[in-house]
Amino acid sequence: MSATETSAPAPLAVRVEVWPVAADRFGIWLVSPEGDAWRSDLLRADNEPHRAVQQVLREHPEQRHAAGGAADSVRLLHSPSWRMDRDAVVLTYVAVLGGHGSHEYVRDVWPDARPISHELTDAVGKPFPHGPIEPPTPRYIDVLLHGIRHLRFLLDTDDSARAELDDYWQLHLYNLHPALAGMYRIPID
């Protein structure tokens, strides 16, 4: 290769992340023991995002039912966003898990589940602001909360999604404003 020739950059990489959530009478829960999303490796050209999401879910067994992993409990998959994260585009999915079997509470199945509550949103505060043509730099918690707000939006706009959100989901989601955006809005008194 001569001094004037340069190598082309590698193609843009893609990953998926899955935020596994469940609901019971006490609230909405992030069920991953790590308190984070489950993320894939870089997707190969012969794969596609939805299949990669299913694989990620199969790799994470329920804490009390290790059979087919979290994939057996998925009631609803929704992709609310994408973003750049280090070296890849990350396609975000929220996986609504249900069917706790004979267990009444989420923590009976997922003992390390963490609550997603109004107190949490108050504690973490607003996302970092950005200009109108600048890309946002969301924290992971912002991505999760944005995904939950999308579920609230689906209650009003998507009959098939609403059918998969049981009474507990509907109870807790109705307390949220049905907005896709607004996380960056400054409240006006």
Structure tokens, 20? 């596994």
Per-residue pLDDT, averaged over 1-27, amounts to 84
Integer Cα distance of 48 and 56 in angstroms: 12
User: Is 123 a domain residue?
Assistant: yes
Per-residue pLDDT tens over the stretch 20-63? 999 999 999 999 988 899 999 999 989 999 999 999 999 987 65
Query: By the 8 A CB rule, do 169 and 95 touch?
Result: no
Per-residue pLDDT tens over the stretch 105-160? 999 888 999 999 878 888 888 888 888 899 888 999 999 999 999 999 999 999 99
User: Is 115 a domain residue?
Assistant: yes
Q: What range defines the domain where residue 42 resides?
A: 13-173
Give the per-residue pLDDT at 81. Answer: 94
pLDDT band for 188, please (50, 70, 90 cuts). very low
Question: Number of folded domains in the chain?
Answer: 1
User: Is 188 a domain residue?
Assistant: no
Give the per-residue pLDDT at 115. Answer: 94
User: Is 3 a domain residue?
Assistant: no
CA 155, 121, 90, 161: dihedral to nearest 10 degrees?
-10
Query: Would the pLDDT of 69 be above 70?
Result: no
DSSP assigned state of 72: G
User: Is 50 a domain residue?
Assistant: yes
User: Is 180 a domain residue?
Assistant: no
User: Is 80 a domain residue?
Assistant: yes
* Sign, Cα dihedral of 93, 126, 140, 20: negative
CATH number at residue 100: 3.90.79
Least-confidence region, from 9-13, 76-80, 82-86: 9-13
Query: Would the pLDDT of 101 be above 60?
Result: no
User: Is 95 a domain residue?
Assistant: yes
